[in-house]
Amino acid sequence: MRNSTPWWIRIPLIFFFIFGLVEYYVDSGDKPAFIEYPMVQLFLFMVLLILIAIELIVNSVENVLFQTLPEDAKERYLNAKSGSWSWAWGKRMYKKLLGSRPIEEEGEIILDHNYDGIKELDNKLPPWWVYLFYATILFGVVYMARFHVFNDYTQDQEYEMEVASAQAAIEEYRRTAKDLVDVNTVTLLTDASDLNAGKVIFETNCVVCHMADGGGGIGPNLTDDYWILGGGIKNVYRTISEGGRDGKGMIAWKQSLKPAEIAQVASYLLTFQGTTPANPKAPEGEIWIDENAPKEVSPQEETLSDSTDVVMNE
Ligand code: HEC
């Protein structure tokens, strides 16, 4: 029995092949299957053991058979083995793929062209090149059938799909990285945890001027529909981040609050809307109407209104 590859290549090769199959077929979410399911580790360990066991058994059978051989056969066997695998297989394959003729045979393929002593050999195309060429033809046929005969999907659709999946990935990322919000992307937070965090921020920083219930003092009333600097989450976010009008006393909080915190406190103070504070300050500014709120508009107006516009009422 002649081994073409040594055991220390064969065992890892088979092992990682099975490993790959397991990872491919066992659905384990983001993590590799062997981490997600400890049973898989056990299974792979057993596979490894079995592979080693098979190797040992084959070896000992070989040994036993070897002992039964007559002396000269033993010698022949050993000779055959010792030339062993070296890189014979690889070399043979390499030669085959190059397809070049040995120098001794060049006489047969030389052409009678003679350019100043430079002669041309009529070598065959190297098989690696030919096979690659066949592969491209096959690819072309499959491609044509799939996209031009059966119209699987167009480039436009492919683009749409990729944009959609990228959008989903960005959404996902935004949700985990809240500090990425800015005045253009901020949305009204409704999670209790965010609102509670907003409440804490409001009570430590803002109550001196706006009162705990938003009724107003030095700062304006935050419970009514009237806004000096515009209502709605985007305007409020901007007011808190950039501050109010010069000299009025509302500073830019972006120095001391993180974007996520501004979003939280903005969302919190918008919960004051419509409540009745103990000591309401008279309304200041103008009634704020949310452009994005569903309302009756002609389609023409609809397309003209820009939802990202930040309105600044001076
Ligand atoms: C030193 C007093 C003071 C503090 C502290 C203060 N504000 Fe103000 N706030 C004001 C004043 C004054 C205005 C009006 C600004 C103007 O007229 O331009 C204002 C305006 C606002 C407005 C806009 C109201 C409108 O009608 O457009 C919001 C929203 C606001 N403050 C939120 C906050 C938040 C949130 C905090 C805490 C992080 C805070 N303020 C802390 C004084 C204060």
- pLDDT in the model for residue 10: 87
* Residue ID of nearest Cα to ligand 1 atom 34: 206
For the CA of 285, the closest atom of ligand 1 is 26
- pLDDT in the model for residue 314: 47
Q: Is the CB of 19 under 6 A from ligand 1?
A: no
Q: Is the CB of 245 under 6 A from ligand 1?
A: yes
* Residue ID of nearest Cα to ligand 1 atom 32: 240
- pLDDT in the model for residue 172: 83
Summary count for the chain: helices (H), strands (E): 13, 4
- pLDDT in the model for residue 302: 47
Q: How many CB atoms lie within 10 A of CB 83?
A: 9
- pLDDT in the model for residue 99: 77
Domain ranges of the chain: 1-69, 183-295
Question: Which residues are within 8 A (CB) of 222 and not within 5 positions of it... i.e. 6 or more apart?
Answer: 210, 214, 215, 216, 269, 272
- pLDDT in the model for residue 311: 54
Q: Is the CB of 265 under 6 A from ligand 1?
A: yes
- pLDDT in the model for residue 36: 83
SS3 content of the chain, % helix, strand, coil (to 5): 60, 5, 40
* Residue ID of nearest Cα to ligand 1 atom 11: 219
**Residue in 250, 264, 270, 272 to alter for ligand 1 test, most ligand atoms within 8 A of Cβ:** 250
Tell me the one-letter amino acid at 245.
Answer: R
Torsion on CA atoms 144, 146, 150, 153, rounded to nearest 10: -110
- The structural architecture, per CATH, of the domain 183-295 is Orthogonal Bundle (1.10)
Q: How far apart are CA 184 and CA 238, in angstroms?
A: 9
Q: What is the mean pLDDT of each successive set of 10 residues along the chain, which is 314 residues long?
A: 70 92 84 84 92 92 88 82 67 80 79 86 85 96 93 91 94 75 86 92 94 91 92 93 91 91 94 90 88 56 52 53
> How many angstroms is it from 210 CA to the middle of ligand 1?
7
For residue 292, the SS3 value is: coil
Judge whether 223 and 272 are in contact, CB under 8 Å: yes
* Residue ID of nearest Cα to ligand 1 atom 8: 250
Question: Which residues are within 8 A (CB) of 127 and not within 5 positions of it... i.e. 6 or more apart?
Answer: 96, 97, 98, 99
As a residue count, the chain comes to 314
Q: Is the CB of 51 under 6 A from ligand 1?
A: no
Tell me the one-letter amino acid at 38.
Answer: P
Q: How many CB atoms lie within 10 A of CB 185?
A: 13
Question: Which residues are within 8 A (CB) of 263 and not within 5 positions of it... i.e. 6 or more apart?
Answer: 178, 181, 186, 187, 189, 194, 233, 237
Judge whether 205 and 253 are in contact, CB under 8 Å: yes
**Residue in 210, 251, 255 to alter for ligand 1 test, most ligand atoms within 8 A of Cβ:** 210
**DSSP character for 123?**
P
Torsions phi, psi for 115 (to 5 deg): -105, 100
